[in-house]
Every structure is written in structure tokens, then in C-alpha cells.
Chains A and B, each alone.
With several copies, the nearest count.
Chain A
Amino acid sequence: MAQINLLQAVNSALDTAMDTDDRVICLGEDIGKFGGVFRATSDLQDKYGKARCFNTPITEQGIVGFSIGLAAQGSVAVAEIQFADYIFPAFDQIVNEAAKFRYRSGDQFNCGGLTIRAPYGGGISGGLYHSQSPEAHFCHTPGLKVVIPSTAYQAKGLLLAAIRDPDPVIFFEPKAIYRAEVGEVPETDYVLPLGVAEVVTQGSDITLVGWGAQMHQLHRASNMAAKDGISCEVIDLRTLLPWDVDTVAQSVGKTGRLIISHEAPRTGGFAGEVSATIQERCFLSLEAPIMRITGMDTPFPLVFEKEYMPDYLKVYEAIKASVNF
């Protein structure tokens, strides 16, 4: 096993997917010879040819529409959207088409072979249009699956699972930790299950739930809290739709406290869904209000990015507030 970073793990997953299945096709803006602006598709065109790994014109609605058609025909389409901020022109194709394709046809047709990859999130001084976390928009769309890895190991296993999953999957990659996040990743083929959360740290006093780059803030906050004698159970959701309610509910049943954290703005963010559901399931176990530590209800800022972000200090303060409630 080699030590590689999250970006290399994505590349390895794509390589494995293309190698093990001729029907896998990668497409997107600048992903061909250039290997993508982040280099996630490096070498794939050389290895598998221009027919299976190619540049598209700059049209996100076209990329997704085209990929739906490919998938409906029997190919396995892995489309890259250059930044998650640019996924919105494809919103109709994703929400009205991909998500409803199987249902509306009575299962005569499906586009389950579709996976849409997009780097998401802040922390790179990207301002309004290179920083957004749009996951909640897609989590309100039955028919889609939404997956976000937080480590290199997860990235490869979850991306392979997403590509091979029989339903369309949106796969958001935490670009801020593309290189910083390094770990042991098998060179061999493996998948991690979709729809299953990972309890990363066991604990007894409070449950912390997050996904993607935000996991690192949770770990850091959890370590700080440990020094205060507070034991945090840290859960990485990994799949947001459908999400693993049981694992979170079981944990909160034990700890009685819950903090959910994400970078996206608070109002309408996915933390609200987790909070509402867990409140329904664990009402009698709750010893303090479920808290949300999130981005603020503004567009993503530039100079005040650090202040906007739901960092470990904000999580740490919330842990203390919850425990002292």
C-alpha cells in the first residue's frame, strides 16, 4: 500500500474503474490531455484513448445531459464539473432528469451509470465562486445519491462504489484537502459501502457529525475537548443521501448531545435535516439542544473567509456550550 493524497486517490479510482470496465467514460472541461485543472484525470486520456476520456465544450448542462444519454445507452459516465460552484447550470438536468429518469419510465430506462464529480468547499481563498458547498440542494432530490469523502482511502473506495452504483451519484470532493490529506490507499480495487456512516472516534459525552473537509475541524475540536475531559464521538456521514440515520441515532441515544457541522450556509443546509430527524428519533435522549455549526448566511466571502468558516474553535466552543447546557 502506498501513501497517496486524496487527489491521487481519486485518480486511482478513475484509473481502476476504466481499467476494469470498458464502458467507463470520463468527460468534462479540460479533463483530457491536460488532466483536469486539479489533475484528477491525469494520464487517463493517454492510457484509455480520446474516445473514453475527453474534453467537452464549456457547458455544464450539456455535460450532464450528454452523460445521462451515455448512461441510458449503457455506458458508465463519469462527468467532472470543474468546480461545484459551476454545477448550477446543470441543475435541471440533474434534478428533473437524472433523478427522475428511472421512475418516470417505470424502470424501462435508467441512468444509474452516471456519476458527477465536482471539487467543492472553501479554504483556498476562492471567494464567491470557487468555494461553495452545494450538497444540500441535491439532498432534497429523491432519486440522487450524494457522497462526500474525507480521506484518501475513502475517496478511492467511495468513488469506485459511486461509479458502479445502479443510481446516479453526485460525488463532491473536498478540494481544500486534495493534497494535504494523505493516507494509505490500496493499489487494488476496493469499494466502500454507500449509505453507511463511519464512526471515526468513539466517545460518550457528545456526538459530532460532519463530512468532507469539515471532518478535520471536528477532529481538532474533539482533541481540544478531550483535554477538558469531554469525550466526543465523531461520525463521518460519507453518504448524505440516503444518510445513515441509524448510526447517528444510536450514537445520540448514547451521548444525548449532537453537533452537526458543515461549510454551507446555515439556513436550509443539510444540518437542519440531520437535526430534525435525530430530534424525532432521539427526543427523549436529548440533554441539550442539537446545535449546528455552519457557514454563515452570506455568499462565500473572500477576505473574511476565516471568520465565515465553521472552524474547530467554533466547534470547540459549541461542544462546551452543549455539555454545559
Chain B
Amino acid sequence: MAKFDRTIGTLRFTEATDLSIPTLSILDSEGKLRKDAQAPAIDKETALKIYRDMTYIRVLDERMLAAQRQGRLSFYLTCTGEEAAVVGSIAGFADRDMVMAQYREQAALRYRGFTSEQFMNQMLSNDLDLGKGRQMPVHYGSRELNYMTISSTLATQIPQAAGYAYGQKLSGNDACTVCYFGDGAASEGDFHAGLNMAAVLNCPVVFVVRNNGYAISTPISEQFAGDGIAPRGVGYGIKTIRVDGNDILAVYAASVAARKLAIDGSAPVMIETMSYRLGAHSTSDDPTSYRNAEEEQLWAEKDPISRMRKWLLGKGWWSDQQEHQLKDNYKKEILDALKSQEKRPTPSLNDLISDVYQTPPQHLQQQYAELQQHIDKYPDHYLANPAKANGTYLSASVQLP
């Protein structure tokens, strides 16, 4: 706690430059260890799992973008460019840790074991969707994998994550919460509420801020005036680190250390991953109107996946042949899953009213009965494969979410 006991007789304002937070960087752009860097302990198995999942998500994102263009799903949103920030961080946590993410962290869900079929079921709102067809594509959730269902409303998960972590601490189950959000979401009031509460109530939660330069069209220069998000963590009394988000080893090292600090110290930790959203915000967006190709090119050259590949190749843990095979397998796996899962039926009509409450109250049951009667009068008009309808319904310039 603050003591406020240092006094000074001369008037001087403290400025952002008085707190310079450096960026942790371990792998250079060629995938070599920096000379002054301490590489984290990472075994081959973990490294390859990380690499495979990053690659998987890159392939999934490309396939689903194409599928969206074909009208096979209504909406999609890629993680492209930020794979190391997401996979590198989640790899530092245990499976029992709860993940509360924003929406661009499908790579973390994959790392936990989400299957291609499960991704498809959600995006296609079919009868096997764990979310019962209620949310737009990419709003995943899995109780089994400790991955909280995504909400479109930005930043709401931040104070929730603090509370979840507090509950974990009380339960004494040696687990923490990892909470992801973007540079834009960090402007919401809920960010402030969540970080301050986490700090003063000693909640074991690790906040991973994905600073990717943009919030839809808004560059970070119009989102904040300070030195990124990291100094805010310091202001709340939270141990904070900034990392090169395209450097898998830096992200991983910071995450492993952060988890330990959070659990051993019963305290929040913040990691700011500096990266770039290489793709559009979503399939409803076209970034050419608000940023230039050079900037994109600059960042494309820093691609986190190829940087990690170079490192793996250097260590002799990976080969070009394995690379080709892996990608081909993923392409096939994903396409097969898309084809099979899009044939599945929609959830049952009753899922329109179930789960509003644990048990549907009388008025809702009555509304449902009336609906059924009505549908019986116009059987052709309703229940007509709505999953298909989704594909064409959205206007191309509607930004969702």
C-alpha cells in the first residue's frame, strides 16, 4: 500500500515518459535467441503443440473466411497475426485455469482441445452446438475445457474474471483465471472496475491485453494518449509486463511467470502483448479505408508463426516436410468437418425458450404454446433451415460484432 511520504519542494508534473515500460523480446526476427535474452524452459513436446495449434488456427481462419464468402456461414473473424500472443499465453496456464476471452482467441480454445467439429457446430448453429444455436459465429464456450462462453459486449468479462478468480482462491483449488481483451476494450469502464477490484481484493487473475493496434477502424492513437495499456496496470498496483506479442518465447515466458505470481501471491498480473491485427476486423470489415498497405506489409513480415518455425527449424525440432503434411492434414480435417457438420439439423425449437431461467416460467411456456400453434398454421413459413438462411442474411457492411 501507498505511504505517500516522499515530499518534494519544487513543482514538477509527472508524465508518461517518467514510467518507461520496455518490451520483453527473446526471439529476434530471424527466430534466433537475442544475445541478452534468457530463453524460458520449454520442452519439445510443448513447443510443437504450440506450433501446431498456431498453424491450425491459421488454416482454420483462412478456410472459414472463404466459407463465409461462399455464404456457408454468416460471419467470421480471424486471429491472424496474433497467434503467438494467444497460444503463447494460454500455454503458460494449466487446463484447470478458467479462460475468459474477448472473441479473437479461438487459438486458446484449440490449445485446450476444441475439435474441428466443435468449431463448426458453433459457427453453423447446428444441433450439436454447445451454445444451442443462440449466438453468432465465433461466440464459443466449453464448460469441459474451462473456456467461458464469449459475450459480444466488450470488457464485461474483466470484472467477472476478477470475481471468478476470487472464487477460485476461496475454493483453494490452486487455479487462476486468464482474461483476454483488446486495446479497444481496455477503454471501457468495466476494465477499470475489474482491474482495480482484482488488485485490491487480491484475485489470482492474469489479464492478457492484446494490443493489436486497432479497434475496428480506430487506431490506438485515437484510443488512448498514454504509453499503451501496461502503465495502467502499474497504477492499480498490479505487476505488469509488456511483451513482443509476435515472439512466442517472450509471450510464453511471461505467461508462465505471471501464472506463478498470480497463484503464489494471490494477486492479479497484467501482460500486454504488442502485436497487430493482420486481417480485417471481421468479415463485415474492409480495412483498406482506414490503414495503408505498407503498414500491413511491415507487420506481415513479423509473422509470429514463421518466426517460430525458424526457431524450431534451427533447433532441429521441425522440418519442411512435416510442415507441408501438417497443413494438408489440417486443411482436410477442417473441410471435412465443415461438410459434415453443415448437414446437421438445427437445435430443437424448445431451445428458443429453455435456459432463460433454469425452469421456464408459466408465461414463457404459454408464449411457447402459442408459438407452436401459430407455426402449425404456417408450417412452411417457419423452421426453414435457419442455419442456411444465416449465410445470406447479413448485409456486407454490417459490423458484427
Contact = CB atoms under 8 A, between A and B. Distances in A.
Interface residues of A, number: 90
B188 A89 contact: yes
A59 interface: yes
Given A124-B398, A125-B393, A30 B217 contact: yes
Contacts of A57: 184, 187, 193, 196-197, 200, 218, 222-224
Nearest to B161: A69
Interface string B154-190: 1110111111111110110000010000001101111
B143 A306 contact: no
Interface string A196-208: 0000000000000
Given A37-B398, A195-B361, A302-B125, A55 B367 contact: no
B367 A296 contact: yes
B401 A129 contact: yes
Given A58-B154, A313-B381, A112 B358 contact: yes
A276 interface: no
A21 interface: no
A125 B382 contact: no
A61 B191 CA distance: 10
B143 A33 contact: no
Contacts of B154: 58, 86
Interface stretch (B23-31, B63-71, B106-114, B129-137): B129-137
Interface in A288-315: 296-299, 301-308, 313-314
Contacts of A305: 386
A66 interface: yes
Interface stretch (B6-14, B309-317, B335-343, B344-352): B344-352
A59 B135 contact: no
A304 B386 contact: yes
A32 to B, nearest CB: 7
B211 interface: no
A54 interface: yes
A271 to B, nearest CB: 14
A242 B371 CA distance: 19
Interface string B100-144: 100000000000000000000000010001111111100101110
A304 to B, nearest CB: 4
Interface in A117-159: 123-130, 142-143, 145
B358 A89 contact: no
B164 A167 contact: no
A57 B125 CA distance: 33
B162 A301 contact: no
Interface in B302-346: 346
Interface stretch (B47-55, B76-84, B145-153, B241-249): B145-153
A56 B284 CA distance: 21
A152 B106 CA distance: 40
A70 B153 CA distance: 19
28 contacts: A32-B218, A37-B216, A38-B399, A57-B184, A57-B223, A61-B159, A69-B162, A73-B163, A73-B166, A103-B134, A104-B134, A106-B351, A108-B130, A124-B400, A127-B139, A142-B364, A179-B395, A245-B362, A296-B353, A298-B352, A298-B356, A302-B134, A303-B387, A304-B133, A305-B386, A306-B382, A306-B384, A308-B352
Given A66-B194, A307-B349, 17 more contacts: A30-B218, A37-B399, A65-B156, A65-B160, A65-B163, A66-B159, A85-B153, A97-B151, A108-B131, A109-B149, A142-B364, A267-B363, A296-B368, A301-B133, A302-B134, A306-B386, A307-B375
5 A-B pairs with the lowest CB-CB distances in the bound complex, closest first: A69-B163, A62-B193, A65-B159, A73-B167, A37-B399
